[in-house]
Amino acid sequence: MILPTAAASARVERTRWPNGLVICTQHVPGVRSVALGAWVRAASLHETPELMGVSHMLEHLVFKGTARRSAKALALALESLGGSLDAYTTREYTAFQARVLDRDLGVAADVLHDVLFAPLLRDEDLALERGVILEEIAMVEDTPDDLVFELHDRLLWGAHPYGYPILGTRETVGAIPGEALRARHAALYHPGNIVIAAAGNLTHEGVLAALRNAGWADVPAGDARPMAVPPVEPAAPARKRVIRKMAQTHVVIGSTTIPLGSPDRPAYSIVNALLGGGMSSRLFQRVREDLGLAYAVYSYQSLHPEVGVHGVYVGTAPATAAKATQAIRDELERLVQEGIPEDELALGRQQFVGQYLLSLESVSARMYRAASLELYDEPDRTVDEVIARIEAVTPADALRVAQAWFAPDRQTTLTLGPRS
């Protein structure tokens, strides 16, 4: 039996200020660092077709200078201390994260405040950053094993925002005006729409004090009503081939799956991992080791509050693409028909427990977990509770999940590559 340490058992502390800001923290003893992040509840899921990519563009533009700091000064503020500052945009939120020594928590809180609430958002900076994002889009277009996922999302979701490219398109990025960015910032970048999370060598009161000193408590509350999201209506299962001259053929076979809060999440995650989560997985052993059809083959999952997406990726020679695709579909069918025997499932449970416990050693992972409790309304389970849920998964659970979500005839297939 694995015994959790005191560090692993620490609970997340939570405070909501009058201006709507939610702060979640977790103390991690034995480290000298702190991870501090801010999650803005605005992302590609909340965009319109003509403003596709505006969330990601705003994420870029806030780093181009503030009322107190130039773009270079923002970069130096934490890098000069040995720390880091970065950001990314997802379907549900835009995240800004700092990693610093514990003594520099106040600096990180001040820099994040500056970036989120005092960016200049100048038209001249937009003109330059527009070019940077167009180059970012070009990188995706030139990277087939990235592009195939974007194309699969569009095929799976149709016109729903879940199918929008987070970067936007060349057309939308080229046309988004500065007024739209400034309006979006004014409407959405306020405390009532932000979650703060921190983990590391800290106390909850110490984080609150650092945020107060940086001015977070003084920012007025905004409209905290959840942004509207269109009803989820994925397209019917389909197959599509996109012809492009390249050395390999890239295939994604996937569909919708459980939402983030599903009680089947432990069983589903174990099944998905055993199917294609590593070198010992069924797909790796069959497609790569037994048949020699691919270097890269794996399953993936991306779970959202309303719905999830999962699938299988394979990159293979054009001449063997059909054979590799059929081998994957055969493995999906075997999973649905036979499920997973107890001996294999026991290894999956063991793997999942080990991965979970190892993740607790990262302060950044702890920070994200603390944020997810608020972002996704997840319960703050103890380590023992999480392990118990994993250990409770039975072969009957695995079979039920497999039959509900992994059947070959409910998958959408996108093939990207040259003419065969």
Secondary structure of the chain: what % helix, strand, coil (to 5)?
50, 20, 30
Query: pLDDT tens digits, residue range 269-305?
Result: 999 999 999 999 999 999 999 999 999 999 999 999 9
pLDDT at 7: 47
59 is an active site residue:
yes
Query: pLDDT tens digits, residue range 194-229?
Result: 999 999 999 999 999 999 999 999 999 988 888 888
User: In terms of DSSP H, where are the helices of 18-143?
Assistant: 54-61, 71-79, 105-117, 123-141
Phi, psi of 313 (to 5 degrees): -115, 140
**Contact in structure between 408 and 284 (CB atoms under 8 Å):** no
| Catalytic choice (13, 47, 59, 331) | 59
Please compute, for residue 116, the number of CA atoms within 13 A of its CA located in the half-sphere on the CB side: 34
Average pLDDT on 399-412 reads: 97
Q: How far is CA 411 from CA 110, 130, 256, in A?
A: 47, 36, 8
Query: pLDDT tens digits, residue range 54-79?
Result: 999 999 999 999 999 999 999 999 99
Mean pLDDT of the chain: 95
Burial class (CB in 10 A: 0-12, 13-18, 19+), 275: buried
Residue 9's pLDDT band, with cuts at 50, 70 and 90, is low
Q: Which domains does the chain have, with CATH numbers?
A: 6-218 (3.30.830.10), 239-417 (3.30.830.10)
Residue type (1 letter), 394: T
pLDDT at 8: 52
What is the β-pairing status of strands 33-40 and 94-101? antiparallel
CA 17 – CA 24 distance, rounded (Å): 12
Burial class (CB in 10 A: 0-12, 13-18, 19+), 4: middle
Residues near 290 by beta carbon (within 8 Å), at least 6 away in sequence: none
Which residues does residue 294 pair with via DSSP β-bridges, in sequence order?
Answer: 316
CA angle (231 as vertex; 23, 237 as ends), nearest 5: 115
pLDDT at 148: 98
Average pLDDT on 99-114 reads: 98
pLDDT at 230: 87
pTM here is 0.93
pLDDT at 1: 43
Query: pLDDT tens digits, residue range 340-397?
Result: 999 999 999 999 999 999 989 899 999 999 999 999 999 999 999 999 999 999 999 9
Query: pLDDT tens digits, residue range 313-325?
Result: 999 999 999 999 9
pLDDT at 227: 84
CA 360 – CA 173 distance, rounded (Å): 38
Longest alpha-carbon distance in the chain: 63
Please compute, for residue 310, the number of CA atoms within 13 A of its CA located in the half-sphere on the CB side: 29
- Count Cβ atoms below 10 Å from residue 231 Cβ, excluding itself: 6
DSSP 110-136: HHHHHHHH-B---HHHHHHHHHHHHHH
Whether the predicted pLDDT of 150 surpasses 70: yes
Which residues does residue 316 pair with via DSSP β-bridges, in sequence order?
Answer: 249, 294
